[in-house]
Amino acid sequence: MCDTMVALGNSTRDGVTIFAKNSDRQPNEPHILVRIPAADHGENTKVKCTYIEIDQVPHTYEVLLLKPSWIWGCEMGCNEFGLNIGNEAVFTREPYGEDALIGMDMVRLALERCRTSKEALMYIIKLLEEYGQGGNCGYNKNFTYHNSFLIADSNSAWVLETAGIYWAAQEVKDVRSISNCLSIGRDFDLCHPDLIRHAVDKGWCKGEEDFHFARCYTEPVFTHFSGSRARLAASSAILEQNKGNITVDTMKDILRSHEDRVDANPYKASSLKSVCMHAGFVIGDHATGSYVASIHEGTPTYWITGSSTPCLSLFKPYWMLDQEEFLFSEDETDTALRYWHLREEFHRMVIENRIQNLDLYIKRRDEIEQALTQEVSGLDMKNPNPDILKGIMKKAFEEEERLILDFIDQNRNKPVRIKGNPYFRHYWKRQNKRLRAQMPMT
């Protein structure tokens, strides 16, 4: 369960494309930050994705991946050319296939092999046609689905929604959100050649005149209970209301937003209808990682949390510079896991009502983030000084770490008092026990 959004330069305050995404996964599933350099590959080599091997290409581009720790691909990420992609689970009437490429694999493959949004769109379609989509995407449960994608570069963006081998694509004109539901209706720009004929054969519509992609291909039950339509409506409304004045802060606010029912205290109730999703019910996931990209044509700025629960997390600026020391290689998975896990310890202490000065934490987090935003806004991103950028990153990562450790230490010995209904309390007690057993916390 996730939400992804984009605002093109014609809708933002500074004329720069802004892309944003929450990754909603099972709450104990670590969401790690990995940077992979560009590489050359020998002839006739293969690459092992999550489930299958496919042909490797002679050269792959440098990528930043925000990904479940056990998946080869990623939920969202970017490459050295400022191409950004995020994917969503969608539930359709088409059957789920055997192990093949999963949506997260397609995101990584497109980032490693494409430069622009249109090129990535066509490449994902090619992957879908050649290899198909299928395979379990659940961390400790079986969870299969089809995929939609939001693909953006500095000048353009596309939505691609799939149902088995079938697909429809729509070019973004200004602002757009996607969620865990098919959202393209009649106004698609490209589609599978048999998209409408297949729907007619299935009896989902009579012909082209009454064809509507989402209505015809949506599986209604899982789509309804995912809460996706409420989240899609909420993020879309904020983008429309702020069109022409959208900033990185606008996107952060959307990623941190909750439905009215839980907004006063989101840490004692689950919420499938919140963009900042909180687990605690038999269905539904939790926001395990968050990301905002300001896609300057010069040096894009990426605001990353590296942690779950964006309403608690601090967004830190990041730039893909040579010889930076802040993110992790594929060989440093253990270190990346420890990074996510430290921040998750703080979140679990909030759930347990052990952080008794939470208002003070939020105040300090906001002060750090606002100071970073102000510092970054004064930079010339067309020709930035790499040393200045590295200094800002160093300060951001160090200040966040001190903040987290300070509040963990202050509250470490406070008693556990999980609030909420009996099922919510039982759910988080069980999740916390499992997480602490699999990876001892700081």
Query: Please, what's the b/e burial string for 108-124 (b: 16 or more CB within 10 A of its CB; e: otherwise)?
Result: bbbbbbbebbbbbbbbb
Beta bridge partners of 152: 84, 157
Q: How far apart are CA 37 and CA 370, in angstroms?
A: 31
User: Max CA-CA distance within the chain?
Assistant: 66
**274 in helix, strand or coil?**
coil
Residue type, 414: K
How is residue 222 annotated by DSSP?
H
Q: How far apart are CA 139 and CA 237, in angstroms?
A: 32
Which token pair is 166?
């079938």
Which residue in 2, 137, 181, 216 is the catalytic one? 2
CB 124 within 8 A of CB 117: no
CB 152 within 8 A of CB 6: yes
Q: Determine whether 191 is an active site residue.
A: no
Q: How far apart are CA 27 and CA 384, in angstroms?
A: 38
Q: Give the C-alpha distances (Å, rounded to integers) separating 241 from 196, 234, 235.
A: 34, 11, 10
The order of strands in the sheet holding 175-178 is: 175-178, 2-7, 17-25, 286-295, 301-304, 316-318
Q: How far apart are CA 273 and CA 255, in angstroms?
A: 12
Identify the residue whose tokens are 């919510």.
Answer: 424
Q: How far apart are CA 43 and CA 406, in angstroms?
A: 52
Beta bridge partners of 190: 169
Is the backbone of residue 133 left (phi > 0), alpha (psi -120 to 50) or beta? beta
Q: How far apart are CA 60 and CA 151, in angstroms?
A: 18
Q: How far apart are CA 48 and CA 43, in angstroms?
A: 15
Q: How far apart are CA 125 and CA 123, in angstroms?
A: 5
Q: Which of 431, 274, 284, 275 is nearest to 347 (CA)?
A: 431
Q: Which residues are catalytic?
A: 2
